[in-house]
Amino acid sequence: MASVYLALDVRLDRTVAVKVMHRSLAEDPAFVRRFIGEAKSVASLSHPNIVHVFDQGTDGDVVYLSMEYVPGRTLRDVLRERGRLSAREALEIMIPVLAALGAAHQAGMAHRDVKPENVLLTDDGRVKVVDFGLARAIEATNQTRTGVMIGTIGYMAPEQVTTGGADVRSDVYASGIMLFELVTGRQPYDGQTPMAVAYKHVHETVPPPSSLVPETSPLIDTLVATATAHDPAARYQDASAMLVAAVDAHRLLPRLSTPPTGSGAHLLTPPPMASGPHAVPPGPVPPATVPPAPQRTLIQPRADVLTAPPARRSWRPHWFLVGLAALMVVAIGLTAWFVSRPTMITLPDLTSLNLVSAQQKAASLGLDVKVLDGRHDDKVPEGRVLSMNPPAGTEVEEKSTVQLVPSLGPKLVMVPGVRDMTEEQARVLITQAGLKVGKVRRMENPDVQRGLVMETRPPAGERVKEGTAVELRISAGLTMPDVGGMSRDEAKAHLESLGLQVQVHEVNDDNEPCTVIAQVPKAKTEIDKGQAVQITVVNCGFSFVWPWGDHEARDDSQVVVVPSVLGKQVGDAKRELEQLGFKVRVRRAAGTGVVAYQHPRDTERPAGWTVTIWH
C-alpha cells in the first residue's frame, strides 16, 4: 500500500514517520476521498496504545500521512526471534492491543487488518497499534469496488472472505488468531496458496491452542474459541468485551518467576526458563511451526475462495475439469460483482438542519446515524446539526454510519449577585462566572455606601451568553447640593432631609441677612448619608442697606414684587421671572426639575435683582 520514511517535522522539530501511498492508489480519486476521511477519523483517536496521526495531505500526486515515530520493532520480529510466548506474556501483549482496538470500536471505527506486523513494541516496552483505516480506504479504489476481499489471509474472518463485509467483530476474530499464534508460535491454518488458507477460515474451526501446546491454560482456549467463532454474533461483540475477558484470564493465570510488567517490556530481552516436570520452555519451536514470513495485506478476488478447496499434492485434476472450474469461478465472480456491488452515496450537507430532520434525511438515503454529544455554539441554534463526519460531499457506501454533533446553542451563564461589593470584588466574581465587565457608572444613591455596587445590567440572576459584558453601577452616595443664597431655615431643612448632620455658622457680612454665603463640603462633592456638613449664614440681625438707598427716595417704578414660583417647572419659572426684569440663577437641590426653593420671594426687589431657584 505504501512506503514509510523517517522524516523531520521542521516546524515542531520532531521526528515523524511519513507513510506515502503508492502512486496507483494516489491516482484514484475515490481512494483519496476515503483516505482523507479515514485519516481524520484516526486523528480524532487519542489513546496511548494507538500510533497517533499528526497530519495528512497531498503534494501533487503524492498522498501521505505524518505519524508518530515508534522506535523499536514489530510483534512479528518478536515471534521470529522467540518462536512463541508464555500465556501470561501473550496476554500482556494482547491487553494493550485490545485496549487500542476497543477505543477505536467505541468511536465506530474498525481496523480490518489486525496482525503482528501492525503491532509495534517501543524500545521502552510500550505497545502501539498502527494502520487504522487504511484497509477501509483501499475499498474505495476503482479496482476493489466489488467482489474483492482486502486484508491479510492468515487473520481474515470468515465473513470477510465470503461477503467482503467487516466490522468490529472481524477485528475480534483477527485478535483471536493473533493470540493463538502468540501462544503456539504458528497460525492455526497453513496451505500452499493464500486461497487455501482462506478456504480453511471459512470451512474449518480454529483448534484450541492446547492441542499444540498441552500446558496451555483452558482460559486461553476459551478466549481463542470465543473470539474466532464462525458466527460473528457468537464472538465478543467488540474488542472492549474481549479486553475484559483477557484481563480476567491474566489475573487467574499462575504467575511466572519474573513478575509481569503489563507493558511487554520484558519481551525485548530473553525470556526466563520455565520449570517443572512437564514444562515446555518458550523459545524455538519445531521447523513445522516456525512463524511465517511477514504477512502482507492482500487484495484478492473473493470468488476464488468460495470455490477453491485446499490444494492436495496427490490430486492431479483433469484439464477439462480445471477449465470448467475456471469458467464457474468467472461466472460466480461476475454474479458476485453485480449482486454485491455497494451503492455509493454522496453525503448531503446536514449541518444547520434540525437534528430530527437530519436523521430522517440520512435514513432515507440508507445511512446509519450516530448522534454524538452536543457542543455549545454561538451561531448555530440549539437542536440543529453543528457538524457531521464524514463531511458533506464525501462519497460513502450505503449503510455507512454518519456521525452528527448537535448544537446546544450558546452557552448560558448566570449573572452573579455583586450588590454591596467593591468594584474590584465584583470584577473578580463576574470574570469567574465567564462574563466580562463592561461600562462602570457612578450613580447617586443615599441607601448604598459610596463606592459599593448598587446593581448590574443585566441584573443578577439573569442567564446570558458566556462572555457577555455586564455593566456595573457604583453608588456615588449623596451629591452635596448647592445651597448658597438659600435662606438659613430652608437650607438647614433641606440638608437634614437628605440625612445629613447640619452645623450652622453665623457671621456678619454685607450680603442679605439669614442667607447662606458658604458651605462645607462644596457643592457637587460626593458625600455619605449621615455625614456632618456646615453652612455659613449671614447674621439675621445684621443691618442691610438696600440698593435704592433712602426708602423715601426710591423710585417705585423700578421696584417689583418677586412672585413665588414654587412647584413650577424650572423652565416656566425662569421665563416668568425674566419677563418681570429679574435675573435668574438655577441651582440643583434634589434634581426633580420642579422648583423646590426660591430666594427671595413674595417681597419687593428692584428690577435686575438676581433671584435664585432650586429644583
DSSP sequence for 487-530: BHHHHHHHHHHTTPEEEEEEE--SS-TTBEEEEESPTT-EE-TT
According to the model, what pLDDT value does residue 335 have?
53
Q: Which residues pair with 301 in a beta bridge?
A: 148
Instruction: State which of 362, 384, 406 marks the end of a domain.
Output: 406
Q: Where are the beta strands (DSSP E) in 179-246?
A: none
Of 113, 131, 171, 377, which is the active-site residue? 113
Q: Give the other-Cβ count within 10 Å of 547's Cβ.
A: 11
What letter represents residue 174's amino acid?
A
Q: Where are the alpha helices (DSSP H) in 185-238?
A: 194-203, 218-227
Distance (Å) of CA 448 to CA 417, 474, 588: 15, 9, 21
CA distance linking residue 540 with residue 605, whole number of Å:
18
Residues 223, 112 share a domain: yes
82 plus 129 within the same structural domain: yes
Query: Distance between CA 255 and CA 27 in Å, rounded?
Result: 53
Distance CA 430, CA 590 (A): 33
Residue 354 bridge partners (DSSP): 384
Q: Is the same domain home to 203 and 130?
A: yes
Helices (H), 365-460: 423-432
**H helix runs in 396-455, sequence order:** 423-432
For residue 365, the domain's CATH number is: 3.30.10.20
160 and 229: one domain? yes
Q: Kindly state whether residues 239 and 99 are assigned to the same domain.
A: yes
What domain range includes position 569? 556-615
Residue 359: all three cell numbers together: 436523521
Same domain, 325 and 363: no
115: in domain: yes
CATH number for position 23: 3.30.200.20
* Spatial distance between the Cα atoms of 450 and 350, rounded to a whole number of angstroms: 56
Residue 113: active-site member: yes
Residue 329 and residue 355 in one domain: no
pLDDT of residue 546: 57
Structural domains counted in the chain = 5
128 plus 39 within the same structural domain? no
Domain boundary among 455, 476, 497: 476
Cβ atoms 419, 460 nearer than 8 A: yes
pLDDT along the chain (615 residues), means of 10: 89 91 79 78 86 87 88 93 93 96 91 93 91 65 52 89 88 97 94 86 94 94 96 94 94 65 45 36 40 57 51 50 60 54 82 89 89 90 91 87 92 92 93 93 87 93 92 90 89 90 87 88 88 90 57 62 91 92 88 88 88 90
Is 365 in contact with 345 (CB distance < 8 Å)?
yes
- Domain assignment present for residue 541? The answer is no
Burial of 356 (0-12, 13-18, 19+ CB in 10 A): exposed
Q: Are 75 and 121 contacting, i.e. CB atoms less than 8 angstroms apart?
A: yes
Cα separation, 575 vs 580, whole angstroms: 9
**pLDDT for res 274:** 35
Q: Are 100 and 75 in contact (CB under 8 A)?
A: no
Cα–Cα distances in angstroms (integers) from residue 283 to residues 90, 178, 250, 271, 552, in the given order: 13, 17, 21, 8, 140
